[in-house]
A and B are shown apart, each in its own frame.
Chain A
């Protein structure tokens, strides 16, 4: 099993550009999460999904969108990149919301 995979590992964007961060898991988990990690801060939940077709906002959703068309994939979309979105983004999944989460390796995004 590959677990949770994320692409790309690194990306530099210019202000106003858009991009999609990819996340996939092969553990047949229903629950998937997107977090951002800023220097010196705890992880913050951006969006989460409880199953294919069902998504909801987390703590810091502004500037992001998600979709969940399959159990395996949970892409995160940045429409108009801003310097405040410079961060490391982690995708995670779990079998149910009370279980430990499995994390992907992260995507380091810089917006200049």
Chain B
């Protein structure tokens, strides 16, 4: 069964801490997405990866294809980073249109 698992489910940090959120998947993929869902509900795409590493501001996303694992890192975390972070993958050999989503990681950054 094609599955996406995220860990941890919930994460509480103090402002300034380095954050890591993990995503693992069961079979080969053609692409992996990281998304952010704000407390108000809106969803924003942060990264799309098929290999290596991408960086945008304080956010870094990495993927290890052999280990079927991706991490999202946040450096110098801030209360405005508080959100649900969602991993989604497009499995190889499946429909190009279908993304399989993880359940999300709820991040709370306290001042």
Contacts and interface: CB of A to CB of B under 8 A. Distances in A.
Interface centre among A31, A100, A102 (most CB of B within 10 A): A100
A40 B103 contact: yes
Interface in A81-112: 88, 90, 92, 97-103, 105-106, 108
A75 interface: no
Interface in B1-56: 4, 30-31, 33, 40-45, 48
B97 A42 contact: no
B33 A100 contact: yes
Interface in B70-106: 86, 88, 90, 96-104
A50 interface: yes
Interface residues of A, number: 26
Contacts of B99: 43, 45, 101
A103 B44 contact: yes
Interface centre among A33, A41, A88, A101 (most CB of B within 10 A): A101
Contacts of B40: 105
A59 B101 CA distance: 12
Interface of B: 4, 30-31, 33, 40-45, 48, 86, 88, 90, 96-104
